[in-house]
Structure 1
């Protein structure tokens, strides 16, 4: 899930640069610098508490309230703390491409962006810049307009036409100061425009701000809005990283695809709001069940994918089986006046990611196993080593009319279904409450308990509140149809009906 603390840490560089600049001005005797320092400290005081850094809030408040003679020491303490937080959280360095033909300007720009904070590549021509981009992932580009082999504006157009750099921030550095040149560059996709000679501190702050902004946008584009899990685009990026790490360290890597069972029925029965809450509930438990080194993403709909670091498919199978048991122990419960309890099961396929296997290959393999799990009764977690035995789908039939019951049982058994039959509604209910069925067929009129009462009790039972139910009613009893659908039936059939129609409806509900 998107980490709000990390978002705050990612943006710290801009505040640090701004405070350093204000500190320098303050030590030079600038009165305006005092107001600037206190204003930045006020901003940090609020955001520190919001994002879970009370120490930042406390130190920023000290700066904001410090008397003039203590301001310098308070500011130094705040800066030291911010730099420490940023250093401890930072992973890979930001990568800058400088496209500049002047050796003097190259040296000046490289001095602004030290190796301790950045990895910098320098190109003296447009051709060199494009060659560097084929070999390295660049986070921001500083572009001069006057190059030996091209107008910088033509190169800017190429940056915006390339999928690799279409979203990469580009800052123009040029001696050209005309409004026409500036507006053209912005129209072509430039993010900032600096006229040479540039102010080193302002440029450094602008670069940091653009990097922070780009990182935030990238993070948001990689996050599924509903579950706050990484999305499909993020998974495709992480797959390459996990696969490379697996090959480098010669450790196993597995990919699991998970799909919630009967999720369409949850939406149909309870509405999409409850369905969304079920997806959120499942995603939280999935993340908690796996290790921090694993990667979980929402693939789409009710499908999720997990990259299992340093794990064989059988090892991943054990982890997901624990998740399945946890969900059975703690079914989803909604809140509010009309609270409902919904049991959650899922099917999953887990495949090994080999050196030659692409993400599409891995997804296809896992999906094939997932499909087998669905058709062997759902609530299955399969690998290539699993003993896959497709069990017949089980149907409970509650029908007291002997001729109708014989007709249904004959056709369903012939089609491979496992049938349990009762002529009494109360007995059928008792069986459903102690056994698991894939589908239930209820006649409206039965001795012991009519079909409506059985239906009402089934929908109160966590075992059966999402099992597909077909109601059988006599021709002309439209009130029965409306009542059954209102009470939670998934479908109805009017007697007499054909075997073909009955099988088609059963197939649709079990799909």
Structure 2
């Protein structure tokens, strides 16, 4: 609340993180209504479909920090990113459908578990004192095939941040959307002793051989394509941990491939690194605008390439 000029004070308060703003003088009934609404929203009770128990992201963050503080960072925490196959409806109805679908998840979770809205019409869940395999079992009881549920399940290790756990769960969800992967995918399942699979698209045989040799030596499984169309078909049919695309390809170039791969639901969270000799700022900006996560300029050091790949996979 403030008695300062309305526009100035309101903008400053909201910029600093205030949820609401009231201009003095205010009457008691207005203040109470605003406070009640904000408390309800913070507890996840506001809006249609409130039975799903959505919490504000701020509540999720506070719960995570509190758990870390009280346990010295050792309390088991799992982040789950959840999506539903069947959300096709009129634009104005999709949010309501998401609320309804979330009830299927809410019914199988425990009383202390938290749900919030994720990105791109997904649901974010935060669970304490549980392991990923047990979360998998909980979600299995919701009959994933019947409700069209897919999930990425990520344990947040000691010293890791909530943001890193969310990012990992988003990547796992992207993998879970691939045709050749299970609907419910925990980090242990994704790794499962199998080397991370890289989609390498490079038409220069010398560069392709160099990259393939180095990545294989460092524990990656590499699928190499010289042609963008063939690479796109591979991306459509199976899951990859990372994409490595040359910009200058015959036929479909790397920019078009990047754009079309990013349109695949299961590739939205997969890191993509572009290889290019085109160092112009406009080309780099174009790649980032189309969804690239990083660029490596040719000629490059194989050691630097692997370091950049590991950074993207660990982010």
TM class by shorter chain equals 0.5 to 0.7
Alignment partner of 2:152 out of 346, 371, 391:
346
Residues 154-173 of structure 1: pairs in structure 2 closer than 5 A: none
Q: Give unmatched runs, 5+ long, in structure 2.
A: 1-33, 48-52, 68-75, 83-93, 174-184
Residues 40-439 of structure 1: pairs in structure 2 closer than 5 A: 222-223=43-44, 228-229=54-55, 231=59, 257-260=78-81, 285-291=101-107, 294-295=110-111, 296-297=113-114, 304-306=125-127, 316-321=135-140, 325=144, 329=148, 345-349=151-155, 378=172, 380-381=185-186, 389-439=192-242
Quote the offset at 1:490 in angstroms.
Answer: 1.8
Quote the RMSD (CA, aligned, Å): 5.2
Whole-angstrom CA distance in 2 between matches of 1:444 and 1:451: 4
Structure (1 or 2) with the larger CA radius of gyration: 1
Whole-angstrom CA distance in 1 between matches of 2:307 and 2:190: 30
Tell me: CA distance 1:432–1:416, structure 2 relative to 1, closer, same or farther (3 Å). same
Secondary structure (helix, strand or coil) at the match of 2:266 reads: coil
Q: Is 2:265 the counterpart of 1:462?
A: yes
Whole-angstrom CA distance in 2 between matches of 1:420 and 1:388: 17
CA deviations on 1:21-79 (whole Å, 9 max, x unpaired) are xxxxxxxxxxxxxxxxxxxxxxxxxxxxxxxxxxxxxxxxxxxxxxxxxxxxxxxxxxx
Q: Is the 8 A contact 2:199 2:244 kept in 1?
A: yes
Residues 437-456 of structure 1: pairs in structure 2 closer than 5 A: 437-456=240-259
Whole-angstrom CA distance in 1 between matches of 2:193 and 2:236: 24
Q: Give the aligned partner of residue 504 of structure 1.
A: 307
Whole-angstrom CA distance in 1 between matches of 2:203 and 2:135: 47
Tell me: CA distance 1:450–1:387, structure 2 relative to 1, closer, same or farther (3 Å). closer
Whole-angstrom CA distance in 1 between matches of 2:136 and 2:103: 15
Higher relative contact order structure (alpha carbons within 8 Å, sequence separation ≥ 6) = 2
Secondary structure (helix, strand or coil) at the match of 1:496 reads: coil
Quote the offset at 1:393 in angstroms.
Answer: 1.1
Whole-angstrom CA distance in 2 between matches of 1:298 and 1:322: 17
CA deviations on 1:268-316 (whole Å, 9 max, x unpaired) are xxxxxxxxxx9999887555324278323259999632479xx998665
Whole-angstrom CA distance in 1 between matches of 2:138 and 2:202: 42
Whole-angstrom CA distance in 1 between matches of 2:309 and 2:141: 32
Whole-angstrom CA distance in 1 between matches of 2:128 and 2:96: 19
Q: Is the 8 A contact 2:54 2:116 kept in 1?
A: no
Q: Give the aligned partner of residue 30 of structure 2.
A: none
CA deviations on 1:398-442 (whole Å, 9 max, x unpaired) are 001111111111111111111100112211111111111111111
Secondary structure (helix, strand or coil) at the match of 1:346 reads: strand
Quote the offset at 1:498 in angstroms.
Answer: 1.1
Q: Is the 8 A contact 1:470 1:491 kept in 2?
A: yes
Q: Give unmatched runs, 5+ long, in structure 1.
A: 1-212, 240-254, 262-277, 331-343, 351-362
Whole-angstrom CA distance in 2 between matches of 1:426 and 1:313: 37
CA deviations on 1:324-375 (whole Å, 9 max, x unpaired) are 9469946xxxxxxxxxxxxx7421459xxxxxxxxxxxx96xx9xx98xx69
